[in-house]
Amino acid sequence: MSGTLRQKSLIRRMLKDPRILICGALLLVVGLVAILAPYLAPHGYEAIDASVRLQARAEGYPLGTDHFGRDVLSRLIWGSRVTLIVSLGSVAVATIGGLFLGMLAAYYGGVVEAVFMRLIDAILCFPAILLAIFVVAFVGPDLRNIILTIGVLYIPRIARVAHAVTLVERTHEYVDAARAMGAFPQRIIWKSILPNIMAPVIVQMSLALGTAVLLESSLSFLGMGPPPPMPSWGRMVGQASAYMHLSPHAVIWPALTIAGTILALNVLGDALRDILDPRVSK
């Protein structure tokens, strides 16, 4: 099957998979909400109305208010921006770093492979959340620092996938033909091998997005996320947890939002794996 026909077949299978359609639609809604937050939020994320503090539902506040009298719905809408920026930014960092380390290690082998893969193993030795807390506490809870920290922590996941598939691809005839024609190793890696290993990398990226959302929410819950006044879903849960016995809705709504987003990303990743992985695709 030619490359064009195979791509069309994959697109048709994706459009027929209800997991991709449903989860993709949900994630598209999250993305649009984040982009259009200034127009969709009924109130400012720092607007306070002390007369309706800790109300599960009040006029003009469909999801209730928190302990300061701030609108929960508006803060959920604005918080989606932080989640989108951190998750996409960190996965971009992880993908670039992981492809660089994994592909170079697999193609060159020898000392390069030993050094790069041991570096990856060293990062994997530490629990991600503990290492993230240590790094963020050291460099400060700035949005850029959080993106870089989470991205570096998930480089090994992308690198291992890139390393494994590059080991297979470098033995194929098209790589030998490129070498025989005098192509530079850099051109072979980025122009020939990279397009052929992107399917499993895309699957890993979709799964890494879910873990990035979870890690950012965990840091924010602990007070080490992006600094105020911009809200984040994890900080909303952390701040409202002290008042959960009085008004649990302020915890429930952001928690459900986090869980739903992560679930959609993980299900989407599973669906993409079933379609793109030649070992399981039919």
Q: Is 27 inside a domain boundary? A: no
Per residue in 106-147, pLDDT (tens digit) is 888 888 888 888 888 888 887 888 888 888 888 877 888 889
In this prediction, residue 4 has a pLDDT band, given cuts at 50, 70 and 90, of low
CB 76 within 8 A of CB 236: yes
Count of the separate structural domains present in the chain: 1
In this prediction, residue 281 has a pLDDT band, given cuts at 50, 70 and 90, of very low
Per residue in 218-237, pLDDT (tens digit) is 888 888 888 777 888 998 99
Res. 1: pLDDT tops 60: no
Q: Is 238 inside a domain boundary? A: yes
Return the HEC string of 55-107.
CCCECCECCCECCCCCEHHHHHHHHHHHHHHHHHHHHHHHHHHHHHHHHHHHH
Q: Is 158 inside a domain boundary? A: yes
Q: Is 28 inside a domain boundary? A: no
CA dihedral 121, 123, 124, 129 (to 10 degrees): 180
DSSP letter (8 states) at residue 52: G
* CATH code where residue 199 lies: 1.10.3720.10
Q: What pLDDT is stored for residue 257 in this prediction?
A: 94
CA 2 to chain centre: 32
Q: Is 84 inside a domain boundary? A: yes
Which residue segment(s) compose the domain that 205 sits in? Answer: 39-50+65-276
61 DSSP β-pair partners = 58
Q: Is 30 inside a domain boundary? A: no
Both tokens of 164, joined, read: 């494994």
Res. 151: pLDDT tops 60: yes
71 DSSP β-pair partners = 65
Both tokens of 25, joined, read: 């639609």
CA 150 to chain centre: 9
**Cβ neighbours of 200 (radius 10 Å):** 19
In this prediction, residue 76 has a pLDDT band, given cuts at 50, 70 and 90, of very high
How far apart, in whole angstroms, are the C-alpha atoms of residue 72 and residue 79? 10
Q: Is 166 inside a domain boundary? A: yes
Q: What pLDDT is stored for residue 279 in this prediction?
A: 53
Both tokens of 156, joined, read: 């090994």
Helices H / strands E in the chain, number of each: 13, 0
CB 73 within 8 A of CB 66: no
Q: What pLDDT is stored for residue 6 in this prediction?
A: 62
In this prediction, residue 277 has a pLDDT band, given cuts at 50, 70 and 90, of low
Q: Is 73 inside a domain boundary? A: yes
Res. 17: pLDDT tops 50: yes
pTM: 0.86
Residues of the chain above pLDDT 90, percent:
21
Q: Who wins on pLDDT, 276 or 85?
A: 85
